[in-house]
Structure 1
Amino acid sequence: MGEFIIKMPDVGEGVAEAELVEWHCKVGDPVREDMVLAAVMTDKATVEIPSPVTGTVLWLGAEIGDTVAVKAPLVRIQVAGEGGEADAVPMAETVTVETAEQPVEKVASPPPVEIKKPIQSTPVAKAPVQTIADKPLASPAVRLRAQDGGIDLRQVSGTGPAGRITHDDLDQFLARGAQPQPASTGLARRTAVEEIKVTGLRRRISEKMVLATSRIPHITYVEEIDVTDLEDLRATMNAGRKPDQTKLTILPFLMRAMVRTIDEQPVVNATFDDDAGIISRHAAVHIGIATQTPAGLTVPVVRHAEARGIWDCAAEVVRLAEAARTGSALREELSGSTITITSLGAMGGIATTPIINHPEVAIVGVNKIMTRPVWDGSQFIPRKMMNLSSSFDHRVVDGWDAATFVQRIKALLETPALIFIES
């Protein structure tokens, strides 16, 4: 018998180390050639590590969440014949994506699993319970005292005849340090604590959130918009849409309004390399659409929104959202946004404070639509109102420019015909 050592592979792109996010085996497990042993994650990708040999696992070189250097021993396997060593050949590469509120990784295969480790508390033996017909034996006076003191008689050992609980038994119960329980309400106290190790996807989210909030001075501007006419137009267009056309939501209209406004306010369609001190204003409008997936919040990118009409924008949003949810989105579809839209749909709340998708300088947050009374100068009338909560990098975008950007979007959405008029 020999021993075969599998080393951390070089996953490319100059990466010197990777985080271990999954084990698919444990010491003593039999493994076969090409069986996936582990998954590791870098800033660029998540890859699975297969076994190049058949044998039995003798040793694992890291725990979930550990950072392992390239070429470091990762697994030792007992094999028939002579042993050896080799770098594992990574497989099933997945891609890195960015979220609207925080950049995260979206995998093309099942996402890294957050390992949950419940703390196992030592069972506490209950005192013997002496009962007749499942009811502790005690006099009415003892029962009243127990009820007033919040003591569960089922937890008290009875030393009286036939296991009857006495006042002395209650005294002994309290002397042992047992805590009286609140008056019975059918509810029980919970004492378990669950520890969740921050690894993989959740760790990347945490790191990117810290990066965005620590390096970008945010300014958030909230404005209410009357979308009554826009909703009427949307309903009319949906009623007349062709069978092959995607049903319109408010997002395609917002996207087109943003494109029109960016022509006048190019400062918001930019990325900021704060290390190099360079602001890049982009002619192309690549709009990231925050999308909730089973793996977390991701941002598929509608590329060149400036060259797309309403129906095209709607179709692309649906296509990319589905690809993100199923893990089939390509790398270029999940990166490269120049400005982002984030929306919680019907749960959008009255206002939010969206966090900018670093290194972008602006993000537009959509809140829910509500019918509210609005004063028209002579009376209150019901109108469909929606707030936009937009955040800006205050190092790049001044407050005046931020307000001008949002006010221009407001004007277009409140008079939606203007969206279709070419300037």
Structure 2
Amino acid sequence: MAQRPFKLPDIGEGTAEAELVAWHIGVGDTVAEDDLLCEVMTDKATVEVTAPFSGKVIERTGNPGDMLPVGGVVLVFDVEEEGAAPAPEPTSPEISSSASPPQSTRQEPEHRVLASPALRKRAADQGVNLRDVVGSGAKGRIRQSDVDAYLAYAKTLRETPRVASPGGAAQVSAISPAPPSDDVEEVPVIGLRRRISERMQDTKRRIPHFSYIEEVDVSQLEALRESLNATRGEHRPKLTLLPFLVRALTRVLPEFPHLNALYDDTAGIVRRHRAVHAGIATQTPQGLVVTVLRDAGSHDVWGVASELTRLSGLARSGRAAPADLTGSTITITSLGAMGGVATTPVINSPEVSIVGVNKVIERPIVDRGQIRIAKMMNLSSSFDHRVVDGWDAASFVQRVKAMLETPALLFVEA
């Protein structure tokens, strides 16, 4: 046997260090080539680091939350003498947008179980058949959290009391509420959650935000949307309100180029963009991820809807690449049905504008002296006051409001 170090590979984009999110092997484990070793996070995405050779782990460096230098030794293996010659290190690790992808993926191929040797042993010790576990990692790779979730579900089924019904069939009985507990769970703020925390703190500290909230009558827009969905055909995605808002932004922003911009406050330069690269804030169980719809003006509403579906799927399944997460020039944030009456969204620095969508509600309004029931929605937008004046922000929102209230304008060529 011979000792062989494993260095953290270059994960691209000039990254000098990465945060260790999770280990998937321990000292004493034997791993095979391509087994998952650990997950590390850069400013852009989470990278799954796999083994370029087989061996037994004899040393391991760092704990979750530590910063690891690219090129630094993170593991030392015992390997067979004949395999001690240097092997190429991975240059294109699998990338995901969150520290622990929230949705399961199907295994490829169907009967192949993707899991590290250490996890296989732990699962066997616990009496778990990994073929019964759905993996949440890349290509369906099974993680320890997946096994834990499977065991918790199995325990719930075993412990749920069942009573005989009058017809003889077993039924689940009512479960008494658990007694109150004073236990305190300490959760390390690492990975994506720490990135969000640091970014929000830095953004709020440096940028003088101001918000502008306006109500919009979307009655005509909702009627149009429902009509298009009713006749869309199976090959087209279902339209939400967001594709129409994106369309409105691409029509209005050329009149306000300083709002479709990035502010480099170190260099003192505002970079205005002609193309609208719309950042779409997507909530995942691990935190907020902003995917980017590039050159949004090149798509019609159906194309925008298709891209939004694709991007949100990548974000929630943890398969978004860095190119899907960078380069936005203005961000849209929406809480959907939980959108509330108004919000004060935080700007996605170095952008200077963010548009927030609140929920649509029916309520009475006065229209030309008459009371009618309308579908109303508020737009809650925030701006960087160093670059955007209040008058310009209000004028911009009013133009977007006009587009949404008279949706025919969205399709009239300028």
Does structure 1 conserve the Cα–Cα contact (< 8 Å) formed by 2:24 and 2:38?
yes
Task: State the match for 2:130 in structure 1.
Answer: none
Task: State the match for 1:68 in structure 2.
Answer: 68
- Aligned pair partner of 1:315 in 292, 306, 314: 306
Specify whether residues 283 and 273 from structure 1 end up closer, same or farther in structure 2 by C-alpha distance, changes over 3 A only: same
Per the TM alignment, residue 328 of structure 1 is displaced from its structure 2 partner at its CA by: 4.1
Task: State the match for 2:210 in structure 1.
Answer: 219
Specify whether residues 348 and 85 from structure 1 end up closer, same or farther in structure 2 by C-alpha distance, changes over 3 A only: farther
Specify whether residues 394 and 32 from structure 1 end up closer, same or farther in structure 2 by C-alpha distance, changes over 3 A only: same
Per the TM alignment, residue 276 of structure 1 is displaced from its structure 2 partner at its CA by: 1.0
Amino acid at match of 1:94: I
Amino acid at match of 2:236: Q
Per the TM alignment, residue 379 of structure 1 is displaced from its structure 2 partner at its CA by: 4.3
Query: What is the rounded CA distance, in whole Å, between the counterparts of 2:404 and 2:265 in structure 1?
Result: 33
Deviations 1:72-96 (A, max 9, x none): 3322333455997969823524266
Task: State the match for 1:395 in structure 2.
Answer: 386
Matches within 5 A, 1:202-351: 202-351=193-342
Which stretch shifts more, 59-68 or 360-369? Answer: 59-68
1:383 and 2:374 aligned: yes
Query: What is the rounded CA distance, in whole Å, between the counterparts of 1:328 and 1:71 in structure 2?
Result: 25
Query: What is the rounded CA distance, in whole Å, between the counterparts of 1:334 and 1:69 in structure 2?
Result: 23
Task: State the match for 1:24 in structure 2.
Answer: 24
Query: What is the rounded CA distance, in whole Å, between the counterparts of 1:186 and 1:308 in structure 2?
Result: 52
- Structure 2 residues not aligned, in runs of 5+: 99-136, 146-175
Query: What is the rounded CA distance, in whole Å, between the counterparts of 2:140 and 2:205 in structure 1?
Result: 31
Deviations 1:205-230 (A, max 9, x none): 22222222222211111111111122
Task: State the match for 2:15 in structure 1.
Answer: 15
Deviations 1:220-251 (A, max 9, x none): 11111111122122222223334433222211
Query: What is the rounded CA distance, in whole Å, between the counterparts of 2:269 and 2:230 in structure 1?
Result: 47
Deviations 1:178-218 (A, max 9, x none): xxxxxxx9873412111111222222222222222222211
**Structure-2-length-normalised TM-score:** 0.74
Task: State the match for 2:95 in structure 1.
Answer: 94
Per the TM alignment, residue 338 of structure 1 is displaced from its structure 2 partner at its CA by: 1.1
Does structure 2 conserve the Cα–Cα contact (< 8 Å) formed by 1:45 and 1:93?
no
- How many residue pairs match? The answer is 344
Per the TM alignment, residue 354 of structure 1 is displaced from its structure 2 partner at its CA by: 0.9
Does structure 2 conserve the Cα–Cα contact (< 8 Å) formed by 1:369 and 1:384?
yes
Query: What is the rounded CA distance, in whole Å, between the counterparts of 2:190 and 2:86 in structure 1?
Result: 26
Task: State the match for 2:182 in structure 1.
Answer: 191
- Structure 1 residues not aligned, in runs of 5+: 98-106, 116-184
Amino acid at match of 2:391: W
**Structure-1-length-normalised TM-score:** 0.73
Specify whether residues 348 and 276 from structure 1 end up closer, same or farther in structure 2 by C-alpha distance, changes over 3 A only: same
Task: Tell me the percent identity.
Answer: 54
Does structure 2 conserve the Cα–Cα contact (< 8 Å) formed by 1:287 and 1:305?
yes
Task: State the match for 2:149 in structure 1.
Answer: none
Query: What is the rounded CA distance, in whole Å, between the counterparts of 1:377 and 1:191 in structure 2?
Result: 59
Amino acid at match of 1:5: P
Matches within 5 A, 1:102-121: none
Per the TM alignment, residue 2 of structure 1 is displaced from its structure 2 partner at its CA by: 3.9
Specify whether residues 110 and 64 from structure 1 end up closer, same or farther in structure 2 by C-alpha distance, changes over 3 A only: farther
Specify whether residues 328 and 386 from structure 1 end up closer, same or farther in structure 2 by C-alpha distance, changes over 3 A only: same
Query: What is the rounded CA distance, in whole Å, between the counterparts of 1:328 and 1:266 in structure 2?
Result: 32
**Which has the greater radius of gyration?**
1
- Aligned pair partner of 1:407 in 398, 403, 408: 398
Does structure 2 conserve the Cα–Cα contact (< 8 Å) formed by 1:289 and 1:342?
yes
**3-state SS in 1 of match to 2:311:** helix
Query: What is the rounded CA distance, in whole Å, between the counterparts of 1:271 and 1:86 in structure 2?
Result: 44
Query: What is the rounded CA distance, in whole Å, between the counterparts of 1:28 and 1:114 in structure 2?
Result: 17
